[in-house]
Amino acid sequence: MYSDSDAAAHKGTRSDPSRDLVVASNFIRAVRESGYVSLSTALAELIDNSIQADATVIAIAISRPGADAAPEIQVLDDGAGMNRSQLESCLQFGGTARFGDRRSFGRFGIGLPAASLSQSCRIEVRAWQRGGTPFAVHLDVDEIASGAPAQFRSVPTSFEPSTPSGCAVVWRQCDRIEYQRLAWLERALHRDLGRMYRRFLGRGVKLTINGSRVKPLDPLLLEAPVEGHTAALAFEPMRYELSTADCGTSFVTVRFSVLPVDAWHHLDNLAKRRAGIVGAGGVSILRAGREIAYGWHLMGGKRKENYDDWWRCEIEFEPALDEHFGITINKQGIRPSAQLREAIEPELESIARMLNGRVRQAFEDVKFRQATQHSCRIAEAADPQLPVLAKGRKRSRNGTLAYRLSSCPVPSEAMFSTSLTQHTLQVVLNVDHPAFAALYRPLQALADESGGSDLRTAIELLLLSFARAEAALGPGARPGDLIAAWSTAYARMLQKS
């Protein structure tokens, strides 16, 4: 309860209708701490606005007006521009005609001023429309902090645009940029913005940084080949239907990709890092086609391991599901709702564990094949001395076959399978057959011991010679021919060993 003196002291506060909602001089400084985690995420607010204005060319220019001066950044686009009324409200918090709109990026009309103030002390916005004169508005932190009222009245500007319509946002006195060298900053922006806007860059939007075009960067590695290979979808995209705030429904689409261990395992760590193979595993979250988060999301109790660099996940949704993903005004990061977790997390965790196991097995297979190369070279050296292949089966141009011995699950009860394709004779050991665990795993363990390597080579040549004998026989072979041909092939290979 207030005393009479308390009531008198607070009377003006409670009843004075002329008081502003916020104290501008304090608010302008406080809003600079609005939580943008990087320059890239702040610039994304401006790029969002450009794309929403149907811009096809967006040019970012970064410069330093003096040796010790803070950098300046300009974002120029060829979009629809703004009329004077729109321009005069664009730097107001909530100053948008699209407030609450869920058809594209923006919803609250806060992104432009909040993102700009998080990085710079002064914002200038110039806009022009077809056939019209360019006008400008500005917002200056020092002016407002000193007690001067905000002035959003637009004024004509001497700026000479190069496009019929568009907008230019200039950040002056960017005192929050930590990069000492602008070249390092440009490199980081190319990486971050290339990944965040990969969908739009792939559809023809041209984004440049100091004249250098930003290339789309696909974290799933499905597009750009490395050593002639790309990742592949693990399976068809999955869709989950969830309820929306307006009592409708919308879908979450999930894609998983798997990287080719066989093709990329031999790359050195620097090459793997530059290609985005190691150190880049995780889940990419796309809202309206733009990435808003990248990390380890919605994987349940599955912890991230090194093997998880070799598969990727992409989760995409529309703004209608913002409440389920916990989207904030700065559109970075997610806070999944209980309903979203319940709908998709158990299955995503199960898939993550399965893909982790698949990658682990792929590395085991690579290790297995590397260990069998010695035996395969012996078989290739003996091949010219073996009988010609059955009719319709050809050797390579130099008259010999290539040999390959590998292991993987085989969809049959056979201990191993054989095949001859493209002049390569392949034997695949069935890891699900009891013989693999009973015979071959102990051989692998003995490989480093005295005599163990020779025993393993002898067993491998036994399998390769069987495949070679089978390939040499025609369909009319008599009983016992296989054993005889096998014995001959095995003897030749052992002589070469």
Question: What's residue 453's pLDDT?
Answer: 80
Please state the rounded mean pLDDT for residues 28-43.
Answer: 81
Among 19-33, 73-87, 470-484, name the one with the lowest average pLDDT. Answer: 19-33
Task: List CB contacts of 404: < 8 A, sequence separation 6 or more.
Answer: 369, 376, 424, 425, 426, 427
Cβ-in-10-Å burial (0-12, 13-18, 19+) of 76 comes to buried
Cβ-based neighbours of 282, under 8 Å, separated by 6 or more: 219, 294, 295, 296, 297, 304, 308, 312, 313
Domain map (residue ranges) of the chain = 21-213, 232-359, 386-496
pLDDT more than 90, % of the chain: 52
Contact 75, 93 (CB under 8 A): no
The predicted-structure confidence for 135-194, as pLDDT tens digits, reads as follows 999 998 888 888 877 778 889 888 888 999 999 999 999 988 877 788 999 999 999 999
Tens-place pLDDT, residues 262-298: 899 999 999 999 999 998 899 999 999 999 999 999 9
Could you report the per-residue pLDDT of 147-162, keeping only the tens digit for each?
877 778 889 888 888 9
What does CATH list as the number for 21-213?
3.30.565.10
Question: Which structure tokens are listed for 286?
Answer: 């796309």
Q: Hey, which residues does 62 pair with through a beta bridge?
A: 73
The per-residue pLDDT for 100 is 47
pLDDT at 6: 47
Domain 232-359: which CATH class? alpha beta
More confident residue, 277 or 37: 277
